[in-house]
A and B are shown apart, each in its own frame.
Chain A
Amino acid sequence: MIGLFWENFRISLGSIFANKTRSILTALGIVIGVLSVTLMGTLISGLDKTFEKSMAGFRSDVLLLSRMEWFSGDTDWWEMRNRPRMKEDYGQKLLARSQFVEAVAPVSERGGSIIRDDRRIDSRFFGTTTSYLATNSSTEIEQGRFFTDGENRSGARVLVIGGDVADALFPNEDPLDKYVKIGNYKFRVIGILKKMGKFMGMFSMDNQATMPMGTYKRLYARRGWMTLRVKVNTTDVETAKGDVRGIIRNIRRLKPTEKDNFGINQSSTLEAQYKAIKLAIGGTGIFITALSLIVGGIGIMNIMFVSVKERTREIGVRKALGATKNMILGQFLMEAIMICLIAGLFGMGIAYGLSIIINNFFPSSMPMGLAVGAIILSVIIGVISGLVPSYRAARLDPIDALRYE
């Protein structure tokens, strides 16, 4: 049977190359289909990658206490609006009362421009304490230093800037100990953070600047929005979360019947939300692109019907010479599969090239599993779309086929 397999392989290639224009046009549908499915997968993988990268800042052992839950479900927004604010001294209380809390850093933030002479960058800057580094292990100082407790207490106008901010404001010089302006206030740059990459422009530390909480409060808001970053010392985050929740409820003197008037957020909530979004985008995207593959498959089926019709006499001759139904079926099935396989490889090749280009703008890579999957998929499409025409060919009556003009 191996001999017959090779024979069918040769026949199918011969037939495909004998009708070049037709084969190319037919294959185009599959090329486009495989291309779009593969690219879609590549984009989703890129999304994953950047998400993971940026999630490095949101460690799973860090709880984020704030006035609202990130994903509040059906909690009334007005109820949340009127909740009391987070206070910085919760941090000390948590450290004192909970055996799970390792470090707490308050974080307040706002947007604004950072200006250096005639250069400016729109950025976000936030105030925090020296504990921040303990709650965010992915933040690394590339140059200089983080601010000190003394600077925090005294409200010193010092700034630790992200890598993008440094690049934008100090393209050709060392930013350390230089001065920048935020609004009317002058700050001295004391440190530069290592670049982390970004998640579609969101959550990037590279574009932010950090100042001492004392400074932030003095200059901007005593009672602003605040998030408490709570690092726990256990992998059993749920237990720690329960403990923290109890303590905050206690501080706020909530009765057992009252609902929480604060939110404890975690990267896993973000992750869960992200996964839901990814599923929606990915599912819809793959579905729509798969439709183009089905259209391509219909094209293949159509051309196979034509091919069978054209070669009716050949089928008759082959049957007279001893070909069985299955042999004829195999011959035409092989042809359909070969068109799809070649088209699939082409589509994947183009997708690979494009993914390299896309990678320049949006970090992504074409996953190998998907590549192999795309090829298998095109073979399956070949089988499905070739089956009916091939079966029709196999079923032809040899006498009628031989007489066919």
Chain B
Amino acid sequence: MPDLISLDKIKRHYDVGGEIVRALDGVDLTIKQNEYISIMGPSGSGKSTLMNMIGCLDSPSEGIYEFEGELVHEMDDNQLASIRNRKIGFVFQTFNLLPKATALRNVEVPLIYANMSRRDRIQKAEKALIAVGLKERMHHKPNELSGGQRQRVAIARALVNDPSIILADEPTGNLDSKSGVEIMKILDTLHDSGNTIILVTHEEYIANHADRSIHLFDGKIKEDRKTNKVKSVDQ
């Protein structure tokens, strides 16, 4: 299978008050299609920076980043926005839904930026919401939904544009354990149906849903191994 993502000696340095912080200090990583990867590490190890890097929210200070053969580190802001829009689906710890919009309209947002017609948009958004089991609650606003339901809306929004990769940053971090299990089940299902998923987490049992686990420490990859895969079980 061809490489979906290839990071070659990626470095990301920040200048914080005259002091150089090496958030990423030479990361080599290849991710193939339909992989299920977890990224772990203590806080300050560079997890978020790596996540932002892969998600094209951030550009490397040094190194080569290829996404489906395209050189991301050479792209300008508009090209990065386009990649984020078409190729990447984000799931955040704090859901980050638009509070005043219904679930349906929240899911529509990426399609608006993809300049899709209103009819197609609604059709696709409804399909995505049905896929995450929210058929009955499409027209509810975030404050009328439970935490687990909100995160499912966020997942629907992440996959509505058929992205190449879904990036989930602590997707269960703000949820009770029951909702967390539900969310992981949905992610597992998405992986089974062919999606590539990257999870950032510091919970071992969440990380074990993935096939491959990457441990970061001080901006470098300390460990890259197969996990003892667990499958989510119906309770």
Residues of A whose CB lies within 8 Å of any CB of B are 1, 3-4, 7, 14, 18, 313-314, 316-327, 398-399, 402
Contacts and interface: CB of A to CB of B under 8 A. Distances in A.
Interface string B93-129: 0001010100000000110111111100000000000
Nearest to A401: B57
In the A-B complex, the 5 residue pairs with the closest CB atoms: A322-B85, A322-B113, A324-B81, A317-B96, A321-B110
B85 A321 contact: yes
Given A322-B113, A325-B77, A399-B57, 9 more contacts: A3-B112, A3-B117, A7-B112, A313-B96, A319-B57, A320-B96, A322-B82, A326-B78, A402-B57
A320 B115 contact: no
Interface residues on B, range: 20 to 34
Contacts of A14: 100
A3 B115 contact: yes
Contacts of B78: 324-326
B147 to A, nearest CB: 17
B113 A321 contact: yes
Contacts of B98: 314, 317
B116 A322 contact: no
Given A402-B92, A402-B96, A320 B114 contact: no
A157 B52 CA distance: 103
6 contacts: A1-B115, A317-B96, A317-B98, A321-B84, A322-B114, A324-B77
B38 to A, nearest CB: 20
Contacts of A326: 78
B100 A18 contact: yes
B58 interface: yes
Contacts of A398: 57
Contacts of A316: 96
Contacts of B85: 321-323
A304 B109 CA distance: 22
A315 to B, nearest CB: 11
Among B77, B81, B98, B161, residue most surrounded by chain A Cβ atoms (within 10 Å): B81
A245 to B, nearest CB: 75
Contacts of A402: 57, 92, 96
Contacts of A7: 112
Given A322-B84, A324-B81, A399 B52 contact: yes
A217 to B, nearest CB: 86
A326 B77 CA distance: 10
B219 interface: no
Contact of B86 (A3, A314, A322, A327): A322
Among B98, B118, B157, residue most surrounded by chain A Cβ atoms (within 10 Å): B98
B90 interface: yes
Contacts of A399: 52, 57-58
A268 B74 CA distance: 71
A147 B90 CA distance: 97
Contact of B115 (A4, A319, A321, A325): A4
B18 to A, nearest CB: 19
